[in-house]
Amino acid sequence: MRKMSIYKCHKLQYLFTSAVAKMLMNLEEITVEECELVKEIVAKEGDATSTTIKFERLNTIALYSLPSLICFYSGSDTLQLPSLTTVRIGECRNMKIFSYGVIYTRLFRGIQMLSDDPKQDLLFHQDLNGTIKVILQRQVRTSFH
């Protein structure tokens, strides 16, 4: 499987477990849209010992209108995303962090917030988690204006 697109699956809480994620080595793109109950994309599995989850070819993650989304991955495993270049996020107001584990990216350029401006620049601040935190701070500031 190279592309995974999920649209309007309102009872879905996560896409796959960490064990399944380890088998998706050829996945290049993940898009999740309008899924009310999705809390995470990759769910931590039980008390499994900490390892590495590697998405070797994943280059694009697009997350739109996911009001319950808290994070991409809830476990503490190392998340290797060596081909990831862009993350697009829109209307994911409860997202707190990308992952609780170590994140390794080699080609990551930034996060694009989906807005009315299609030419909006990518935002990058240290790493994926740092960028998510900056985005959250900006959203809080703009919601008070």
Condensed to tens digits (0 to 9), the pLDDT of residues 92-129 reads 989 999 999 889 998 888 888 776 555 567 777 778 88
Q: How does DSSP assign 38-104, residue by residue?
A: --EEEE--TTPPP-EEE-SS--EEEEES-TT--EEE-S-SEEEETT--EEEEES-TT---SBSS-EE
pLDDT for 31 beyond 60 = yes
Please give the tally of structural domains in the chain.
1
Tokens encoding 100: 């609780």
Q: Is the pTM above the cut of 0.85?
A: yes
Residues 6+ apart with CB under 8 A from 121: 110, 112
Q: What is the pLDDT of residues 38-53, one digit of tens each?
A: 999 999 887 656 688 9
Average pLDDT of the chain to the nearest whole number: 86
Half-sphere exposure of 78 (CA within 13 A, CB side): 7
How far is CA 60 from each of CA 37, 83, 109, 122, 139, rounded to the nearest angstrom? 22, 9, 11, 13, 23
pLDDT for 132 beyond 90 = no
Residue numbers of the domain that contains 118: 3-143
Distance between CA atoms of residues 141 and 16, nearest Å: 33
Q: Is the sign of the CA dihedral 35, 88, 44, 83 positive or negative?
A: positive
